[in-house]
Chain A
C-alpha cells in the first residue's frame, strides 16, 4: 500500500502543464518514488485515473482549472464540489470529477483524497507559460512538502 501518491494531471499545452510542474517542483526538492511516496505525471488520463486512485492511503490530485479567477490562484476541492455529476459520459468527456464519481461508485476512492486546482492562463498548442502559474505550482509543492517530509 502506497502511503501517499501525488498525481499531476495535465497536457503538453501551455499552462495546462501546471499539475506536472508541481511534480517537477517536488522532485527538485528531493522527493522521489520511495519511502511509500509516489509522484507521477498523467497526460489527460480520462477513466484511467480511476485505477491510479487504488492501493494508496492518501492521493493528492493537482490539475489545471479555468474558473475565471486570477491565474495562479490555488483552490482546494472537497467532495461536496465534485458530487452530483449526473451522467452524460462521452468517450472524450471524462474529466477528473467524472472519474472520481466513477471511482466512488466502485468503492475505489482512497481513504484520503485531496484535489487541488491551479488557475491557468492560456493552454493552447503554442501558448507560452504564465509566470504566476509556474510560481503557484512551486508554492503548492512547498505546501504539499510540509506534511510529507
Chain B
C-alpha cells in the first residue's frame, strides 16, 4: 500500500469538453482530500423568473431555450405538466410523435457526447480532433448517428435547434408522410451502425471503479421510460411527479450557481446509467442479446459505464423511433383543444442527461404564477463530487498532479454535465438605505 503524505493543490480553472462554465478545486493535505469542489460559476439565467406572467401557450417554446442540446426535454416536460393540469388527453398519434421526437434528441445528444466529449478520455486523446485522427471511422459513424438525430428533431419539431413543433395539446403541425417514411428507412438502416457502436463502446477498457450509489430514473409500466412514467429509485421508491418534493431536496452551496439535490439526504445518480440500472428489463430482446454478447452486465455500479449506457440508448432510440413511425399517417388534427384552469402542474421526463422535473403554479387565465425547474445536472452535482472523492482515492492520491487533474476531468465529463442548464435562480437580497 502506498503511503501518501504530500500536499497538493489542483485547480482546473475552466473545464473543457463540458457545456457551460465550471471549474474544479482540489486540495490534498497529508494524503487526505481536504477540499473538493465542483464550482459552477456560469451566471444564473433567471429562467424561472422570466416565465412568470407568460401564457401557457408560450411555455414550451420559452423553456426550450434553456438548452441548445436538450430543448425537446424542456418543452415536452412543460407540455406534459400543463396537459396533466388541464386534463388534456393526447391522441395516440401525438403521444407516439412526442416519444419519437424525444428519441431524436437522445440520439443527437448521446452521439455527440460519446464521440466528441467523452471518448477522447479513454484513448489518451486531448480532444475529439485527436481521436478523429486515430479512429476516423468511429467518429464518422458517430457524426452520422448524430445527424440522424438532428433530422428526426427537424422532421417532427420543424428544426433541430430549439424545435418549435410542440404545443400544449399535441403538435402545431403534422410532418408529411413521405418524409417520415424516407427517414424511417434510414433509421432502420442505421441500427447496424448502432450495434457496432455498442460493441465498440463495451470493448473500451474503462476504469474499474465500483461505487455505492442510488440510481434515480423514471419507470413506466411497459416502456423504457423516456417521456412518461413515475419517478423510481434503486432502493425501491416509486412516486408520481407530484410527490417529488416530498422525497428530494435542493440546497444552495456558496461555490455554485447550480443548486445541489439530495434524496433522503444523500447524493444520487440520474442519467443513462441510472435509467439502464432501473429499466434494463424494459429493453427489447434483441438489445438484451447484444448486451449479453458484449458482456455488459446490468445493473452497474461503475459510473464510467455511462459511455456504454449512452451507446445502448442510441440503439434503443433508433429502434424505438422506427417502431413509433412504422404506421405513420396524417391525423385529423395534430392537437386537441386546451382549456386552462388554476392549479399546480408538475411533470417529469428523462432528458438525455437524466431526470428533468418541472412545477408550474398557473392562474385561471393560463398564466404562470411561479415556476420551478430541476435539471439533471444539478441533481448530479453532489454525486459528481462524491464520485470524485471515491474515484480519486481508488486512482491513488500519490499520482502526479497532471494525472490527478486528468482523472478528475474524466470523472466529471463522464456525467455529460450541462452547466448552462443547471445554473439557477439565486436569491437576491438588496439592502437600501
Q: Using CB atoms and an 8 Å cutoff, list the residues of chain A in contact with chain B.
A: 11, 43-48, 50-51, 85-92, 94, 101-102, 105-108
Q: Are A92 and B147 also in contact (CB < 8 A) when A101-B129, A105-B133, A106-B132 are?
A: no
- A43, A45, A50, A92: the one within 8 Å of B69 (CB): A92
Determine the chain A residues whose CB is within 8 A of the CB of B113 once the complex forms: 91
A105 touching B140, Cβ below 8 Å:
no
- 29 A-B pairs with C-beta separation under 8 A: A43-B160, A44-B161, A46-B112, A48-B146, A51-B140, A51-B143, A51-B144, A86-B127, A87-B126, A87-B129, A89-B17, A89-B117, A89-B128, A90-B16, A90-B17, A90-B18, A90-B19, A90-B117, A91-B19, A91-B112, A91-B116, A92-B19, A92-B69, A102-B132, A105-B129, A106-B136, A106-B139, A107-B136, A108-B136
Determine the chain B residues whose CB is within 8 A of the CB of A89 once the complex forms: 16-17, 116-117, 127-129
Q: Is B31 an interface residue (CB 8 A)?
A: no
CA A89 to CA B17, docked complex, whole Å: 5
Determine the chain A residues whose CB is within 8 A of the CB of B133 once the complex forms: 105-106
Determine the chain A residues whose CB is within 8 A of the CB of B130 once the complex forms: 105
Distance in Å: Cβ of B61 to nearest Cβ of chain A: 11
Determine the chain A residues whose CB is within 8 A of the CB of B257 once the complex forms: none
User: Restricting to B99-155, which residues have a CB under 8 Å from any CB of A?
Assistant: 109, 112-113, 116-117, 126-130, 132-133, 136, 139-140, 143-144, 146-147, 150
Given contacts A87-B127, A102-B129, A106-B139, 17 further A-B contacts (CB under 8 A): A43-B159, A45-B150, A47-B143, A47-B146, A50-B140, A51-B140, A88-B17, A89-B17, A89-B117, A89-B129, A90-B18, A91-B109, A91-B416, A101-B129, A102-B139, A105-B129, A105-B136
Determine the chain B residues whose CB is within 8 A of the CB of A51 once the complex forms: 140, 143-144, 147
CA A45 to CA B68, docked complex, whole Å: 12
Determine the chain A residues whose CB is within 8 A of the CB of B139 once the complex forms: 102, 106
Q: Is B420 an interface residue (CB 8 A)?
A: yes
Q: Provide the B163-180 mask, 1 if CB < 8 A to any CB of A, else 0.
A: 000000000000000000
Most central of A47, A85, A87, A101 by chain B CB within 10 Å: A47
Determine the chain A residues whose CB is within 8 A of the CB of B140 once the complex forms: 50-51, 106, 108
Determine the chain A residues whose CB is within 8 A of the CB of B143 once the complex forms: 47-48, 50-51
Main SS of the interface on chain B? helix
User: Restricting to B247-299, which residues have a CB under 8 Å from any CB of A?
Assistant: none
Determine the chain A residues whose CB is within 8 A of the CB of B311 once the complex forms: none
Q: Is B187 an interface residue (CB 8 A)?
A: no
CA A105 to CA B112, docked complex, whole Å: 17
- B16, B136, B416: the one within 8 Å of A87 (CB): B16
Q: Give the 4 A-B residue pairs with the shortest CB-CB distance, closest first.
A: A87-B127, A105-B132, A106-B136, A91-B19
Residue of A nearest to B130 (CB): A105
CA A88 to CA B130, docked complex, whole Å: 12
Q: Is B418 an interface residue (CB 8 A)?
A: yes
User: Restricting to B331-360, which residues have a CB under 8 Å from any CB of A?
Assistant: none
Distance in Å: Cβ of A17 to nearest Cβ of chain B: 13
CA A87 to CA B132, docked complex, whole Å: 12
Distance in Å: Cβ of B290 to nearest Cβ of chain A: 25
Distance in Å: Cβ of A33 to nearest Cβ of chain B: 16
CA A113 to CA B423, docked complex, whole Å: 40
Determine the chain A residues whose CB is within 8 A of the CB of B126 once the complex forms: 87
A48 touching B19, Cβ below 8 Å:
no
Distance in Å: Cβ of B172 to nearest Cβ of chain A: 16
Q: Are A11 and B69 also in contact (CB < 8 A) when A48-B143, A106-B139 are?
A: no
Determine the chain B residues whose CB is within 8 A of the CB of A50 once the complex forms: 140, 143
Determine the chain A residues whose CB is within 8 A of the CB of B112 once the complex forms: 46-47, 91
CA A88 to CA B116, docked complex, whole Å: 10
Residue of A nearest to B111 (CB): A47
Determine the chain B residues whose CB is within 8 A of the CB of A106 once the complex forms: 132-133, 136, 139-140
Distance in Å: Cβ of B419 to nearest Cβ of chain A: 9
CA A115 to CA B220, docked complex, whole Å: 49
Residue of A nearest to B108 (CB): A48
Q: Provide the B55-77 mask, 1 if CB < 8 A to any CB of A, else 0.
A: 00000000000001100000000
Distance in Å: Cβ of A65 to nearest Cβ of chain B: 19
Distance in Å: Cβ of A134 to nearest Cβ of chain B: 22
Determine the chain A residues whose CB is within 8 A of the CB of B116 once the complex forms: 47, 89, 91, 94, 102
A43 touching B19, Cβ below 8 Å:
no
Distance in Å: Cβ of A123 to nearest Cβ of chain B: 14
Distance in Å: Cβ of B214 to nearest Cβ of chain A: 26
Residue of A nearest to B140 (CB): A106
Determine the chain A residues whose CB is within 8 A of the CB of B128 once the complex forms: 89, 102
Distance in Å: Cβ of A122 to nearest Cβ of chain B: 18
Distance in Å: Cβ of A72 to nearest Cβ of chain B: 26
CA A77 to CA B258, docked complex, whole Å: 40
CA A83 to CA B159, docked complex, whole Å: 30
B147 touching A43, Cβ below 8 Å:
no
CA A11 to CA B126, docked complex, whole Å: 30
Distance in Å: Cβ of A92 to nearest Cβ of chain B: 5
Residue of A nearest to B18 (CB): A90
Determine the chain B residues whose CB is within 8 A of the CB of A88 once the complex forms: 16-17, 127
Determine the chain B residues whose CB is within 8 A of the CB of A46 once the complex forms: 112
Determine the chain B residues whose CB is within 8 A of the CB of A101 once the complex forms: 129
